[in-house]
Structure 1
Amino acid sequence: MKMKKFIAVCSIAGMLAAAVTGCGSGSTDSKDSSASEWDSSNDITVVSREDGSGTRGAFIELFGVQEEVDGDKVDMTTEGAQITNSTSVMLTTVAGDEYAIGYVSLGSLDETVKAVKIDGAEATAENIKSGTYKVSRPFNIATKEDLDNEVAEDFINFIMSEEGQKVVSDNGYIPVDDVKAFEGTQPSGKAVIGGSSSIAPVMEKLAEAYKEVNPNAELELQTSDSTTGMTSAVDGSYDIGMASRELKDEELSQGLKATVIATDGIAVIVNKGNPTEDMSTEQVKSIYTGEALSWDEVTE
């Protein structure tokens, strides 16, 4: 009787061990197979920014997604695109979808996604400066011509100084040439800066550096989009507006003055599980206009 019990216990233990081993084996096989399961015949998840985004405006212009129709510039972005309203949401969306493609400011690029080469050139500050990587745009700030805010004026002087442009360079952007050392007046008061979510990260760093040299100042940073940045600078809600694109004629006609504070690249990003390393400008355009629907149409 004892022998039978012993055999039964051993049998159960063996079955449990086999089950555990089987589960472990299945998990390993699943992991191994998932690493090679990327299927180029799958549909592309096209991710774009919202209307009013300076990054979207620059992207569609640089890649030819914006076309002239009856004398008007028309955004031809496919209606099937997923729309994100900020740089951070763009990054998390692409990082969470193996078949997604998107675009972000080069200075906002992080390790959660992969930037592809465009026409054989890597998206780097060095390649932008040399002209090898051509997908770049200006970072502009805008104020009223008759700006009457000493803190805002002093902060702009800091941004355009050696100290301010070092912050720009340290954060991966192309600085402005021919700048001089900062000579501040340490005014007291508050200035409100707002607009492009692409400029916001480096503007936050600039604000932190400025407050070290002028603790009397209060800077409030609001993040929205380039168009809101310009309209709010016009109506006085913002002392300084941020636009990650060139200002439009109608914005300039409303009394805004633009200042380029840096040059930035636009990185085309894909999921880290995507084997694609290099794309042409035309391939990116075909995806965003809806001409190419699956990855094998642009990678094979």
Structure 2
Amino acid sequence: MKKKIAAVLTAAVLGATAFAGTVSAASGDITVVSREDGSGTRGAFIELFGIEEKQGDEKVDMTTEEASITNSTSVMMTTVAGDENAIGYISLGSLDDTVKAVKIDGAEASVENVSDGSYKVSRPFNIITGDSVSDAAQDFINYIMSADGQQIIEDNGYIKVDAEAKAYESAAPSGKIVVAGSSSVTPVMEKLAEAYQAANKDVTVEVQQSDSTTGITSAKEGICDIGMASRDLKDEEKDGLTAQEIARDGIAVIVNKDNDVDELTSDQVKSIFTGETTTWDDLAK
């Protein structure tokens, strides 16, 4: 029923908008690969492409029930790399040469294009804290938001949020910091933790990978010191929590390297992920 509703809703949009993307020489059924419920990348993706439809007072995820579900960025990339008809999406900062990112509405998925606004598929990387923050955790946050931390963010393919940040000055903390959540934020957080520990020998930073919702919940329940989320807090999550943006990231729509598709429109992406378009040949119609 969900897939049927998705087809009806999407058809109304597609009927008024002609496909403008490059038509593929690929053929066969499209393998739609999505992330698990709770993934911040999935939440941002369905919102940005209009796959999340408002029905009454609720927003409903219209991702096709035929989609294969992966539980991390790395599994998503491995899945798409191993299936020539697959399409998925990942953090731009995690993109490598095992898969191919397609242009969206004529814009290449790149740091430069996210920065200047020409590539519009982007979202925030947030850290989440509760009412009480330890001295060590606060010092690590200060490091992330310093010129030193922001440079690490930029060096790893993300967009820093404070170009005027000052150099880091250690408060000489000690103890253990637990950071948990988004698999998209994890790679750059591990780089930040490594550099921070090199400057603060008495602090241990443990980075635990899961998903954005788990990171938010863990911060709220005091299971971790800092949660990681690749989306904004929902209204129902804000009580007792503070979100701080540490970087911006693009979401790259990826296909297998052997797929001839180089470009898609936003409408095409939506039609694929809602199940309206089911074969690569359909893109030519």
User: TM-score under structure 1 normalisation?
Assistant: 0.85
Residue correspondence of structure 1 range 112-151 to structure 2 within 5 A: 112-147=98-133, 149-151=134-136
Residue type matched to 2:230 in 1?
Answer: S
* 8 Å contact from structure 1 (residues 193, 240) kept in 2: yes
d(CA) in 2 for partners of 1:299, 1:236:
52
Q: Residue 14 of structure 2 aligns with which residue?
A: none
Are 1:166 and 2:166 an aligned pair? Answer: no
Change (3 A) 1:299 1:250: same
Instruction: Please say if 1:107 is aligned against 2:93.
Output: yes
Structure with greater helix percent? 1
* Pairing of 1:78-117 with structure 2 (within 5 A): 78-117=64-103
Deviation at residue 47 of structure 1 after TM alignment:
0.1
Distance (Å, rounded) in 2 between the aligned partners of 1:240 and 1:252: 15
Matched, 1:64 2:50: yes
Task: Look up the match of 1:263.
Answer: 248
> Does the 8 Å CA contact 1:192/1:222 hold for their aligned counterparts?
yes
**Percentage of pairs with the same residue:** 66
Query: Hey, what's the Cα distance between the residues in 2 that align with 1:183 and 1:65?
Result: 44
Q: By how many angstroms is 1:299 displaced?
A: 4.5
The CA deviation at 1:146 is: 2.5
* Residue 223 of structure 1 pairs with residue 223 of structure 2: no
| Structure 1 alignment gaps of length 5 or more | 1-37
Paired with 2:153 and 2:64, the residues of 1 have a C-alpha distance of: 34
Q: What is the RMSD of the two structures over their aligned residues, measured on CA atoms?
A: 1.0
Q: Which runs of 5+ in 2 are unaligned?
A: 1-23
Q: Give the 4+ runs in structure 1 shifted more than 4 A.
A: none
Question: Given residue 163 of structure 1, which amino acid in structure 2 is its aligned partner?
Answer: D
Partner of 1:16: none
Q: How many residues align?
A: 261
Counterpart of 2:36 in structure 1 is 50
1:160-215: CA deviation from partner (whole Å, max 9, x where unpaired)? 00000000000000001231111111211001000000000000000011011111
Matched, 1:273 2:273: no
Map 1:169-184; keep pairs closer than 5 Å: 169-177=154-162, 178-184=164-170
Q: What is the aligned partner in structure 1 of residue 271 from structure 2?
A: 286
Measured in 1, the distance between the counterparts of 2:249 and 2:197 equals 24
- In the alignment, residue 215 of structure 2 is paired with which amino acid? G
Give 2:140's aligned residue.
155
Shift of 1:39: 6.2
Q: Report the equivalent of 1:73.
A: 59
Aligned residue type for 1:93: T
Structure with bigger RCO (C-alpha 8 Å, 6+ apart):
2
Query: Could you say what secondary structure the match of 1:101 adopts?
Result: strand
CA contact (8 A) 1:276 1:299 kept: no
Q: Distance in 1 between matches of 2:168 and 2:25?
A: 54
TM-score by length of 2: 0.90
SS at match of 1:132: coil
SS of 1:215's partner is coil
Q: Name the larger-Rg structure.
A: 1
